Amino acid sequence: MSKEKKLVEAITSRDEDFSQWYTDIVKKADLIDYSSVRGCTILRPHGYAIWELIQKNLDKRFKDTGHENVYMPMFIPESLLQKEKDHVEGFAPEVAWVTHGGEEKLTERLCVRPTSETLFCEHYANIIHSYRDLPKLYNQWCSVVRWEKTTRPFLRTLEFLWQEGHTAHATEEEAMEETIRMLNVYAEFCENVLAIPVIKGQKTEKEKFAGAKATYTIESLMHDGKALQTGTSHNFGDGFAKAFDIRYTDKNNQLQYVHQTSWGVSTRLIGALIMVHSDDNGLVLPPEVAPVQVMVIPVQQHREGVLERAEEIRSRLSKHIRVGLDDSDRMPGWKFSEHEMRGVPLRLELGPKDIEKNQCVIVRRDTREKQFISLDDVEQSIIKILEAMQKDMLRNAMELRVSKTYTAQSIEEIDEICNKNPGFIKAMWCGEQSCENKIKEETGATARCIPFEQENISDRCVCCGEPAKHMVIWGRAY
Amino acid sequence: MSKEKKLVEAITSRDEDFSQWYTDIVKKADLIDYSSVRGCTILRPHGYAIWELIQKNLDKRFKDTGHENVYMPMFIPESLLQKEKDHVEGFAPEVAWVTHGGEEKLTERLCVRPTSETLFCEHYANIIHSYRDLPKLYNQWCSVVRWEKTTRPFLRTLEFLWQEGHTAHATEEEAMEETIRMLNVYAEFCENVLAIPVIKGQKTEKEKFAGAKATYTIESLMHDGKALQTGTSHNFGDGFAKAFDIRYTDKNNQLQYVHQTSWGVSTRLIGALIMVHSDDNGLVLPPEVAPVQVMVIPVQQHREGVLERAEEIRSRLSKHIRVGLDDSDRMPGWKFSEHEMRGVPLRLELGPKDIEKNQCVIVRRDTREKQFISLDDVEQSIIKILEAMQKDMLRNAMELRVSKTYTAQSIEEIDEICNKNPGFIKAMWCGEQSCENKIKEETGATARCIPFEQENISDRCVCCGEPAKHMVIWGRAY
């Protein structure tokens, strides 16, 4: 059906069917389209523009912390992937294999990168020789492929866009500092740009990255009470360095192994934006990552002077923010719905009566609150409203998380929470993988992280009753 | 050998062995490293930073002309690739095939995109319905794979980074306008940003893109007199639209096929930068795409106040341009050579005597000309010098091209020019592919393009003596 003929269709209610609501949003907010390749989606202009804003914000933070961008090949020879034992075990089952180039069968299969540790390690072994070559602080923006069985737009797709930072350091301490520094960069970015509060913590042995010494994570809570691993930062110690023989000569002329890290976030962040902020009218975007922050919509635009005035205001605003003007010949109500669906933070309505009164109407996407503002200082007023909206969205997301955070003293309690009011569940753990496994089997909840901010909920493991080592955040997760 | 121990090694002379000189530069200017995958290179920070500047400049031009970025999957099912007959014939022999996902053999092979016409067409068939949906002006930045037998960094690699624009229009005229608009964007970008003059023209039937109605090209001339196809823009007519059934309802409610274009440039542009501008001391970069435009190098930096003053100047300059400060403990001469090798446009030397005289020394990378400038208005002076350098580099490249542009009246003459003083060779052509083939077989020169600016060199085809239809630029090419 052609777009201008179709009315803005209602989407499934979020509370009725969260999963269908999510699927409706990704399609009807024009974020993605499906392709004929199973599990691969097309990022449409609106979806890609959000990713560009995420990239721009993160890339600046990476460069401000001394990182440089590079580009590695997308193919990894099978023998290279196999160099680090745990790593290949973790990834080999889910990679795509290239076996033929043109007409010719390859002598060695190549996998399409699921992640690029092995390529960075090979390169580092080539270019790192002396302590003066350290640290190496590299990042790359690219797409990776993981052969997932079930997929869902943004959350789990065969191919996805991401960034992967890979660094090499002279000492264990520096590697650890870097691991935490980048976790903090991610957390700050999520809160201040995406308006998504996160919990920082360490992954358990069971949940850590294949080949890592320790994995750190930021975990966020979606509107349906399920957790999302939003970004990870890994400390590799010298494990990869030993497998790939990455050594440097230190100041005392001794050969030493480097210590490495890697860290990444992906288009999954767009999934988080949807599941944290959006509602039954469609996408809700925090102003910082909204491709259009204000859409000017003329009312009675056929009346003399209305379009001219609307364009004048658009032009004034464009010097400060990302602004659009919808002067198409559709009805204003239709336009309101469409730009709501697409998550435009503010709508600015302007009709003949407004012009007479030297004012315009502003409607916030998150609260749908309506206010009249003077055209004299419309720029300053709008900048203030956008700033307030950005803060309010973070506060609301935080309140949501607080309201859905529970404590549990038994497996039964965890199970009950998961089934009735899912959310983050704080419970004590002895540190044994057998208990972790049992909790997962019986409740479906996994250890999201051992948060840096520990609380003493009880002295005993929620599963076995033995002395507790950590408070863990449990939850069912995407 | 560790970097600080090695002296800056001399590179092969450009006039002695152009090919080895090129290879030396890509490695010693830290642009690339080789990987263990045949024909795939690693873009190192310096090489990737140049690409980022190219991207930033082009992306702005694309957006200013109304284009939006998207991201398509990297895989194309074999059946989709086969939908347009000429297209599959052109590309199938040189694609990489994915046959396995994880442990499982795929029921249909997927190729890694060599270009994405088929994916865009499939998407356009889904989203274009009415004349109001047109035009669609999409672009994507990504990497593509072509299974080349022989490879060379930047010029021909198995995988390379590029952008591909794909547009759909209501009419033939609009598609033609778009094709030429984007060719002009490329030409303007090459001349004003890369300082590389180009010749705009049409490709012959033999040389056009697989599936195109007509291919337009910008051709540039390298220092060794060989031609480089620097960017192309294709008019597809309605060929792909018919193969993929991309139709829209026009204002009279009639179903019509869309008319399409595609256009692309790649990291090959970095190869052009090297082969047009660089010299026996290494890379020479036009200021517009130099990651660092000015490197401040303190002289006698252990002397009191020198480093502080150097840092103060760096800080002042950083408000206007991309500037670095090399305060490492290596000798100034070593630093001079290294930053020359990496193509930094200006070097700013500052020692105790300069400080006394309130001046600094500026050395231009292209001319190696030395001048003293006052520290009072160092920002303005440097901006002027950078602007002059940018213009001079274009003028010099233009002069080089003029000096290496010839006319020929016979195949023998073409052959002689190719062997003795290679360059662009203007010669008349009857339009028959048999003559084009014969010229290629006997001289190694291909038809680079039928330039938009025609000249009447003679009335007869340089090959068969029949009446001439076009003046063609011939040349041996990369």
* Distances from the Cα of B474 to the Cα of B190, B415, B435, B462, angstroms: 21, 11, 12, 11
Q: Which residues of B touch A143 (CB under 8 A)?
A: 71, 74, 142
- Asked if the C-beta of A1 comes within 8 angstroms of chain B's C-beta atoms, the answer is yes
Domains identified in chain B and CATH numbers: 18-277 (3.30.930.10), 290-388 (3.40.50.800), 405-475 (3.30.110.30)
Q: Which residues of A touch B165 (CB under 8 A)?
A: none
- Asked if the C-beta of A33 comes within 8 angstroms of chain B's C-beta atoms, the answer is yes
CB neighbour list of residue B63: distance below 8 Å, 6 or more residues apart: none
Q: For residue B231, what are the β-bridge partners?
A: B218
B40 and A143: CB-CB below 8 Å?
no
Residue A116 confidence (pLDDT): 97
Give yes or no for residue B7 having a pLDDT over 90: no
**CA proximity to B384, closest of B362, B355, B351, B404:** B362
pLDDT in tens, B429-454: 999 999 999 999 999 999 999 999 99
Residue A8 confidence (pLDDT): 59
* Distances from the Cα of B333 to the Cα of A440, B12, B300, angstroms: 64, 20, 11
- Asked if the C-beta of B35 comes within 8 angstroms of chain A's C-beta atoms, the answer is yes
pLDDT in tens, B305-322: 999 999 999 999 999 999
Q: Is B431 exposed, middle or buried (0-12, 13-18, 19+ CB in 10 A)?
A: middle
Residue B10 confidence (pLDDT): 81
Whole-angstrom Cα distance, residue A95 to residue A98? 10
Which of B37, B43, B138 has its CB closest to that of A71? B43
Which of A48, A119, A130 has its CB closest to that of B2? A130
Is residue B227 within 8 Å of residue B219, measured between CB atoms? yes
- Asked if the C-beta of B463 comes within 8 angstroms of chain A's C-beta atoms, the answer is no
Residues 82-101 of B with CB under 8 A from A: 93-101
Place of tokens 């010099």: B396
Residue A174 confidence (pLDDT): 98
Mean pLDDT of chain B: 96
CA atoms within 13 A on the CB side of B430: 17
- Residue in chain B nearest A144 by alpha carbon: B74
Is residue B86 within 8 Å of residue B92, measured between CB atoms? no
Give yes or no for residue B190 having a pLDDT over 70: yes
Whole-angstrom Cα distance, residue A160 to residue B234? 29
Q: Kindly provide the ipTM of the predicted complex, given to two decimals.
A: 0.95
pLDDT in tens, B285-305: 999 999 999 999 999 999 999
- Cβ atoms < 10 Å from Cβ of A174: 17
B2 and A133: CB-CB below 8 Å?
yes
Give yes or no for residue B3 having a pLDDT over 60: no
Whole-angstrom Cα distance, residue A14 to residue A445? 22
Question: What average pLDDT does range B226-230 have in this prediction?
Answer: 98
A101 and B97: CB-CB below 8 Å?
yes
Residue A1 confidence (pLDDT): 36
What letter does residue B15 receive in the DSSP assignment? T
Whole-angstrom Cα distance, residue A429 to residue B20? 63
Between these two residues, A91 and B274, which has the higher pLDDT value? B274
Which of B42, B101, B122 has its CB closest to that of A96? B101
Residue B5 confidence (pLDDT): 41
Residue B167 confidence (pLDDT): 98
Which of A5, A95, A98 has its CB closest to that of B102? A95
Q: Which residues of B touch A126 (CB under 8 A)?
A: 33
**CA proximity to B423, closest of B225, B228, B218, B227:** B225
Length of chain A: 478
A42 and B112: CB-CB below 8 Å?
no
Whole-angstrom Cα distance, residue A351 to residue A361? 9
**CA proximity to A334, closest of A295, A364, A372, A360:** A295
Residue B8 confidence (pLDDT): 59
Instruction: Return the beta strands (E) in B290-423 as ranges.
Output: 294-298, 323-325, 346-350, 359-364, 370-374, 405-407
Residues 239-298 of B with CB under 8 A from A: 249
Residue A85 confidence (pLDDT): 86
**CA proximity to A214, closest of A260, A253, A248, A258:** A260
> What is the rounded end-to-end Cα distance, in angstroms, of chain B?
33
Chain A closest-CA separation from residue B27 CA (Å): 12
Rg of chain B on CA atoms, in Å: 25
Is residue B284 within 8 Å of residue B275, measured between CB atoms? no
Size of interface A-B (CB pairs under 8 A): 174
Whole-angstrom Cα distance, residue A177 to residue A186? 14
Query: Containing H/E element for B198?
Result: none
Which of A41, A97, A129 has its CB closest to that of B3? A129
- Residue in chain B nearest A137 by alpha carbon: B45
B95 and A112: CB-CB below 8 Å?
no
Residue B87 confidence (pLDDT): 85
B75 and A40: CB-CB below 8 Å?
yes
Angle (CA) B59 B64 B65, round 5°: 100
Q: Is B251 exposed, middle or buried (0-12, 13-18, 19+ CB in 10 A)?
A: exposed
pLDDT (tens place) for every residue of chain A, 478 residues total = 344 444 556 899 999 999 999 999 999 999 999 998 989 999 999 999 999 999 999 999 999 999 999 999 999 999 999 998 888 888 888 999 999 998 899 999 999 999 999 999 999 999 999 999 999 999 999 999 999 989 999 999 999 999 999 999 999 999 999 999 999 999 999 999 999 999 999 999 999 998 999 999 999 999 999 999 999 999 999 999 999 999 999 999 999 999 999 999 999 999 999 999 999 999 999 999 999 999 999 999 999 999 999 999 999 999 999 999 999 989 999 999 999 999 999 999 999 999 999 999 999 999 999 999 999 999 999 999 999 999 999 999 999 999 999 999 999 999 999 999 999 999 999 999 999 999 999 999 999 999 999 999 999 999 999 999 999 999 999 9
Residue A217 confidence (pLDDT): 98
Pairing of strands A424-429, A405-407: parallel
* Distances from the Cα of A335 to the Cα of B129, B131, B345, angstroms: 19, 19, 51
Q: Which residues of B touch A95 (CB under 8 A)?
A: 101-102
